[in-house]
Structure 1
Amino acid sequence: MKEGGTKANNLKELFEIQAGLDGEINKNHPKEEGENRELKKLLALQVEVGELANELPEIFKFWSNKKNNRDKALKEYVDGTHFIISFALEFGIDNLEFTGDDYTKDTALETFTEVYAQIAVIQGLLLNAPEMVTMMIKDEIEELFNLYVGLAEKYLGFTWDEIVKAYLKKNQENHYRQMNGY
């Protein structure tokens, strides 16, 4: 990946890289008949967002004196990024736009809650309105992605360059895991 590339170019490349990893995962773990990988990926995303929050206890753990762990939070953040991109690829979406819209809320806590709410919107669409998925899914994923990036940049102090660098590192680790029977 080129140093200093634009966000849009970097994101397009991340989609290509994720498609390669997804191909390897699908080869090693073929989709079973009737399996709903889309919902599984959304549940995995919810888990990763929870793991991200857990590394940022100052945001919500009012009962604790534990401090945020920025490095671990960045690793968890890019796990979520992997799942958002992988989820989009499930629907043949090979890129998303940075809309420039600020979907974040007034606080990090409210923005985390909004991330979960947007995941729930997508889950509801898949479960309750499958006939609408084709028409609405890209916009809903794009909103989720822009919200997630906004959370990182506005409240967590992660730059886009840091996110890309950490994503690439984790992607290499994920390839290694697949090659070694993970």
Structure 2
Amino acid sequence: MIIPKNEFPDYVEKQRELDAKIYEKQELKLLSLERIDSAYRVEVAETVNELKGDFKYWSNKSPEWHKFLEEYIDATHFVLSYVYHFADKFSKRLNYVEGENRIEHMFRKIEKLFGNLENTRVMVIDQNEFTLLTESMENYSLKLPFELEAWELATLAIKTDSLLESFFYLTELAKRLGITADHVRTVYENKLAENHRRSDSGVY
């Protein structure tokens, strides 16, 4: 995670407040996890699109750092929404440690997941060996996340079924681009204020 542990509950609470305003304006009840997940997937695609030539094999452009960061924050909005919706829905089933609330539990769960994924090899295709005529297991290799190319991380972010696992790979891309907690905090606050203004005006 790029967001620090001590700041995570504040991010979630701010997201909850924004969502409550949007729900009221749009006359919505709480959204399903599936709908939040779908909205997140759109933002993932828009985020990796800003990798330009690092993802698009047909492009020689360099990544758009600021645009990538802005899209990453848009994806983060939906991750935060997913976190508190999940915690609210399954609060009685969560395995808390003593003194832990549901959002603190979710942060610990995400941190543990991210730590496990950092040490989990994934199967990727060897582009130098692959042909349509000879596709076999020999065309694939197992790599740790830090060994993956940007396009491979982007592909995993897009195709991984689990939202939180997808966000891990998206966050790995963000870290490679040098995005820090300060960057996330600044752009999230700016985006949050912008979304409040949009909600107040009724124009999204």
- TM-score w.r.t. structure 1 length? 0.74
1:23 maps to 20
Give the conservation status (yes or no) of the 8 Å contact 2:154–2:169.
no
Number of residue pairs the alignment of both structures matches: 154
Aligned mates of 1:86, 1:53 — CA distance in 2 = 21
- TM-score w.r.t. structure 2 length? 0.66
Aligned mates of 2:191, 2:185 — CA distance in 1 = 10
2:191 maps to 170
Q: Whose helix proportion is higher, 1 or 2? A: 1
Aligned mates of 1:78, 1:18 — CA distance in 2 = 12
Q: Which has the larger radius of gyration?
A: 2
1:3 maps to none
Aligned mates of 1:115, 1:56 — CA distance in 2 = 13
Letter aligned with residue 114 of structure 1: L
Q: Give the secondary-structure state (helix, strand or coil) at the position aligned to 2:7.
A: helix
Off by >3 Å, runs of 4+ in structure 1: 143-148
Aligned mates of 2:9, 2:169 — CA distance in 1 = 18
Aligned mates of 1:47, 1:159 — CA distance in 2 = 23
1:149 maps to 171
| Percent identity (aligned) | 31
Aligned mates of 2:36, 2:157 — CA distance in 1 = 15
List gaps (5 residues or longer) in structure 2: 89-101, 121-144
List gaps (5 residues or longer) in structure 1: 1-5, 123-140
Give the conservation status (yes or no) of the 8 Å contact 2:50–2:68.
yes
